[in-house]
DNA sequence: AAGTTAATAGTAATAGTTACTGTTATGTTT
DNA sequence: AAACATAACAGTAACTATTACTATTAACTT
């Protein structure tokens, strides 16, 4: 069988740029609203479909929030801190990943990704 | 203002026992079906309300699955491996938590919980 | 230029969860 | 023990994030 053909689409590239242009780790609706500033008649379904494809092809990351999915244009190795008060996501410095690598070998699983998430209260919320 | 009064309820205690009796890290519907074996006319709303209360009071843990919430009756310190093929959650041995503790001090955040999640393919799925 | 079909806009449907409402049961006060 | 106050309940409606559907458009192939 033939390889799946993925065609270029203006919408997909715009969505990718929107996700890559921010540090907010947006959800689908945020991406939708931002993308509509560039393509006013884009459909919400198109945003969802393309976000999923971009995750599938590894060009963006998928994050799990409380009751929503969030996306991350930064596909480099990093972890997250989530503020339980304001809901903001912050990138944090990575612990040496070799810790996890050696850990992986103790188990009978094929480990494909490590995800370390810290939760608490951010500086902003602590100050105010 | 007075402290919130939490009354005993047969339903809540049964739900707690159901969650504590398993290692599957169940979602709300699984808990609902299991609890109905004991209290046949319990309402799904009651299950959700009590699961939330049990999380709130720290008697069970809340986990984020792909598009669902899961619960864990094991509130001891441990981490998880999730199989992306069969969706099962496994408890895994904890890395020395002091790693995270020292890490926390580098940041201007008040860190309240660490959550390490590994994803990949489990032994069962690798074999078959 | 004509043909193929991936991708789209728009909308309907699904699924997990929460909100509401009248009734029941738990814990308290007479 | 009886009356009371209200947390919790069963049952159901509403909400919300996401996916599915459908007729049309546009990207690539021949
Ligand atoms: Mn990030
Ligand atoms: Mn567990
Ligand atoms: Zn905050
Ligand atoms: Zn598996």
A29 and A53 co-located in one domain: yes
Task: Give me the count of residues in chain B.
Answer: 128
Half-sphere exposure of B12 (CA within 13 A, CB side): 15
What average pLDDT does the segment B11-17 reach?
98
Q: Which domain holds residue B64?
A: 10-72
Q: Any idea what the CATH number is for the domain that residue B113 is in?
A: 3.30.1490.190
Same domain, B24 and B55: yes
Closest nucleotide to B9, Cα to C1': D8
Query: How many whole angstroms separate alpha carbon A111 and alpha carbon A107?
Result: 9
B120/A126 CB distance under 8 A: no
Residue B4 lies in a domain: no
Query: For residue B84, what is the nearest residue in chain A, using CA coordinates?
Result: A112
Phi and psi at A35, nearest 5°, equal: -70, -30
A83 and A68 co-located in one domain: no
The distance (Å) linking the CA of B64 with the C1' of D12 is 27
Residues B67 and B83 in one domain: no
Residue in A closest to B64 by C-alpha: A64
Q: Is the pLDDT reported for residue B2 higher than 60?
A: no
> Per DSSP, which regions of chain B are E strands?
61-64, 69-72, 79-83, 89-92, 110-121
Tens of pLDDT, residues A56-85? 999 999 999 988 999 999 999 898 999 998
Predicted structure pTM score: 0.91
Q: Residue B13: which pLDDT band, with cuts at 50, 70 and 90? A: very high
């Amino acid at each position: 069988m033939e390889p799946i053909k993925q065609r270029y689409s203006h919408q997909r590239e715009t969505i990718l740029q929107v996700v890559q242009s921010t540090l907010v780790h947006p959800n689908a609706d945020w991406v939708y609203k931002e993308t509509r500033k560039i393509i006013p008649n884009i459909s919400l379904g198109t945003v969802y479909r393309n976000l999923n494809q971009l995750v599938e092809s590894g060009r963006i990351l998928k994050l799990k929030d409380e009751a929503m999915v969030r996306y991350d244009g930064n596909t480099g190795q990093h972890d997250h801190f989530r503020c339980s008060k304001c809901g903001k996501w912050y990138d944090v410095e990575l612990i040496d990943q070799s810790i996890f690598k050696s850990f992986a070998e103790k188990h009978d699983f094929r480990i494909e990704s490590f995800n370390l998430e810290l939760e608490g209260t951010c500086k902003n919320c602590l100050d105010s």
